[in-house]
Amino acid sequence: MTVAVYGLGHIGLPTALLLAQDHDVVGVDVDPERVANVRAGDLPIDEPGVDDLYADVQGSFRVTTEPEPADAHVIVTPTPLEEATDVPDLRAVRSAAESVADVLRADDLVVLESTVPPGTGEGLVIPILESSGLDAGEFSYAHCPERAIPGRTLVEMVENHRVVGVLDDNSLDRTLALYSFVEGEVHATGVASAEFVKLMENTHRDVNIALANEFARMAEELGVDVHKARDLANEHPRVDVLRPGPGVGGHCITVDPQFLAQRVGSDRLISLARDVNESMVGHAVRSATTLLGEPPATLTVLGVAYKGGVADTRRTPALPLLRRAQNAGYDVRVHDPHVESFAVDPEPLADAAAGSDCLAVVTDHDAYESLDPDALAERMATPRLLDTRNVVDAERWRDAGFTVRTLGDGTSDPSM
């Protein structure tokens, strides 16, 4: 089978490489620089196993900027929220569908992997494909959203179960043949149902993180340590309270709930959860500035990736946090063991801490668990720490002379 994959980003490129193990694949991207880099082996994503897989499939994988005829077309273009309107931006999906329509033939399969609002396949994509002169049924169509997280993308693409929304039995059979690399169980449903399922999954995470964050704010008011309380609550066999933090980042969980909320008139909880999670950045900044006092003072942000162990900074809460601190008059420095470039250039830890008035752990990188507080205290102007992720051993840091605040711990400082 010949396969064209449209979009060579965080999901599209790994998908194309996995497909190239069993099929002849051409990766299509509108960015000439990205195509040139991929062709040269300079891959735009940092994921375990991707470089090796790229090397393994060189005989069956190539890249181009122009759409080509193929037996199967897989659209994996980004679907962000438009910055100016906060509305789903489906322009890349629309453009890719138009490109496919230009080369679509009878009996081709088209798969949309991009996460989209319910109804996008049948209301937007399929009509564009039918502009080719073919009717749905003369070509096959499926929606097959990925389930993968940064740091484990290849593993989860292979091992996780998949939900596939299809037009008909032929579309299902052809999609199963295409995704032969998937070892997890494939569950078939309708197109709109599959779109809905993907959004449910990430919305579930967002709502439950919001509950954890609200517990953290309450615990600070009530003089309770939310982290100890959470551990005890989770001893209940039907309770699983998630970890609170300074906000939610990443492309999916911050975006997908709004794809649902904006599509219907019955939303209440989803938008409220979004508001709670967005408010945590401001709460973290207020906690930091209370420790810092009035400017001038220096805040060192430890971690700008949106989650621990990765270099992905998409929609990270670290960005609005540091911008708000800068706007309040504070000097901000940044350290991250995984991120090389950011809005504020990351520095080596010793330089970022030198003369600083407060460290703020914003990302739960493993490296921060083993930091030496005694060595850092000697470099800082004033040894203060805000731990928004409950990463460090607070008592150990206090023994080293630090004033420590942990988000959600109302027992350590009554002024919280």
pLDDT tens digits for 368-413? 999 999 999 999 999 999 999 999 999 999 999 999 999 999 997 5
* Residue 186 confidence (pLDDT): 96
Give the residue among 158, 159, 79, 112 at the shortest CA–CA distance from 6: 112
* Residue 185 confidence (pLDDT): 96
* Residue 416 confidence (pLDDT): 43
Share of the chain above pLDDT 90, in %: 95
Question: Helix (H, G, I), strand (E, B), or coil: what is residue 28?
Answer: strand
Instruction: For domain 2-189, give its CATH number from 3.90.470.20, 3.40.250.10, 3.40.50.300, 3.40.50.720.
Output: 3.40.50.720
2 pLDDT higher than 50: yes
Q: Which two tokens stand for residue 51?
A: 């470089």
Q: Which two tokens stand for residue 300?
A: 């060192």
Task: Give the range among 19-28, 81-90, 287-296 with minimum mean pLDDT.
Answer: 81-90
> Is the omega angle on the peptide bond into residue 296 within 30 degrees of 0, that is, cis?
yes
For 222-244, how does the pLDDT look when each residue is reduced to its tens digit (9 = 90+)? 999 999 999 999 999 999 999 99
Give the residue among 181, 187, 149 at the shortest CA–CA distance from 165: 187
Average pLDDT (181-205) is 97
Shared fold status for 2-189 and 232-406: yes
Tell me the pairing of strands 384-387 and 331-335: unpaired
CA atoms lying within 13 Å on the CB side of residue 283? 24
For 46-77, how does the pLDDT look when each residue is reduced to its tens digit (9 = 90+)? 899 999 999 999 999 999 999 999 999 999 99
CA atoms of 151 and 78, how far apart (whole Å): 19
* Residue 413 confidence (pLDDT): 59
CA atoms lying within 13 Å on the CB side of residue 178? 30
Average pLDDT (281-306) is 97
Q: What are phi and psi of 262, to 5 degrees?
A: -80, -10
Q: Looking at the domain that runs over 232-406, which CATH code has it been given?
A: 3.40.50.720
Average pLDDT (124-129) is 98
Type and span of the H or E element at 326: helix 318-327
137 pLDDT higher than 60: yes
CA atoms of 237 and 219, how far apart (whole Å): 22
Give the residue among 385, 394, 364 at the shortest CA–CA distance from 304: 364
36 pLDDT higher than 70: yes
Average pLDDT (88-105) is 97
Average pLDDT (323-341) is 97
Say if residues 316 and 305 touch (Cβ distance below 8 Å): yes
102 pLDDT higher than 60: yes
Q: What is the mean pLDDT of the chain?
A: 96
Single pTM value for the model: 0.93
Residues taking part in catalysis = 198, 252
Q: CA quadruple 33, 38, 41, 47: dihedral positive or negative?
A: positive
Please report which confidence band the pLDDT of residue 297 belongs to, taking 50, 70 and 90 as the band edges.
Answer: very high
Q: CA quadruple 113, 155, 35, 26: dihedral positive or negative?
A: negative
414 pLDDT higher than 50: no
- Of the two residues 406 and 415, the one the predictor is more confident about is 406
Give domain limits for the chain: 2-189, 232-406
